[in-house]
Amino acid sequence: MTSLPPPKVNPGTWLHLGVTDDEREARAEWLSRDHPRFQGPLVLYFRTAAKLLRFSHDDLTLLPWVFAQTVIGLEKVLRIHYQAGKDQSLGQLLQKAITDGLFSDSAFACIWPLPKEFIQRLEDNVSETHASKLAVLIPSLRNDLLHGDCYGYYFNDLLPLIIQTREIVDALVLHLPKSILETMTA
């Protein structure tokens, strides 16, 4: 008896990257979960991101939009915490959160190495901490996406950033006073 050839895997799909449907679903479920310290409107950003992640089954071009949704949630938390207006950039707010000790490398379950395309975006004076690198990288990639230049890097490189963006949010909400958290759930 001859064995059948492996199923054809279309480029631009999760299977092409070696990620199974179960693994993708587990990531989506984790991304959309409620956090004990926030629920309601804030978690909707992450539920939307998870839904897009699920829809990306056959189309990795949705990953930049998953990333955008998680970054929107992150920026919302920072703007509420610092009562920041539009005059403060996402990068400034992330740097302030690091300086204030709201998150650090300890927020990440795993520190994935950054691809060379991402490292090239970092300024020469960026600290060696992963958190500081992400504070520069996340706003840069978000701006690329929103200005239509999101296809200059590999989509699979975005998945670790999506996860780490949610981990930053989880770390930030641990430091938010109850009065601020109530504004996120009302």
Could you read off the pLDDT of 85-110 as tens digits, one per residue?
889 999 999 999 999 999 999 999 88
3-class SS at 35?
strand
- Retrieve residue 64's tokens: 């930049």
Q: Quick check: 113 pLDDT over 50? A: yes
How would residue 67 be classed by pLDDT, with cut points 50, 70 and 90?
very high
Instruction: Determine, yes or no, domain membership for 112.
Output: yes
> How many Cα neighbours within 13 Å face the side chain of 83?
4
Interval 129-146 mean pLDDT: 90
Average pLDDT over residues 56-77: 87
Spatial contact of 116 and 154, defined as CB atoms under 8 Å apart:
no
3 lies in some domain: no
pLDDT tier at 13, thresholds 50, 70, 90: low
Q: How many domains does the chain have?
A: 1
Rounded to 5 degrees, φ, ψ at 5 are -65, 155
Q: Which whole-number Å values give the CA distances from 145 to 150, 172, 174, in the listed order?
A: 4, 24, 29
| Domain annotation covers residue 116 | yes
Task: Return d(Cα 12, Cα 59) in angstroms, integer.
Answer: 6
Q: H/E element holding 142?
A: helix 130-146
Contacts of 24-30 spanning 24+ positions with Cβ under 8 A = 24/53, 24/54, 24/56, 24/57, 25/54, 27/53, 27/159, 27/163, 28/53, 28/54, 30/163, 30/166
pLDDT tier, 4 (very low <50, low <70, confident <90, very high otherwise): very low
Inform me whether the pLDDT recorded for 169 exceeds 70.
yes
- With pLDDT > 70 as the criterion, what percentage of the chain qualifies? 79
Predicted model pTM: 0.84
Domain region containing 38: 14-185
The predicted structure's pLDDT at residue 7: 44
Residue 1 has pLDDT above 50, yes or no: no
Domain contains 6: no
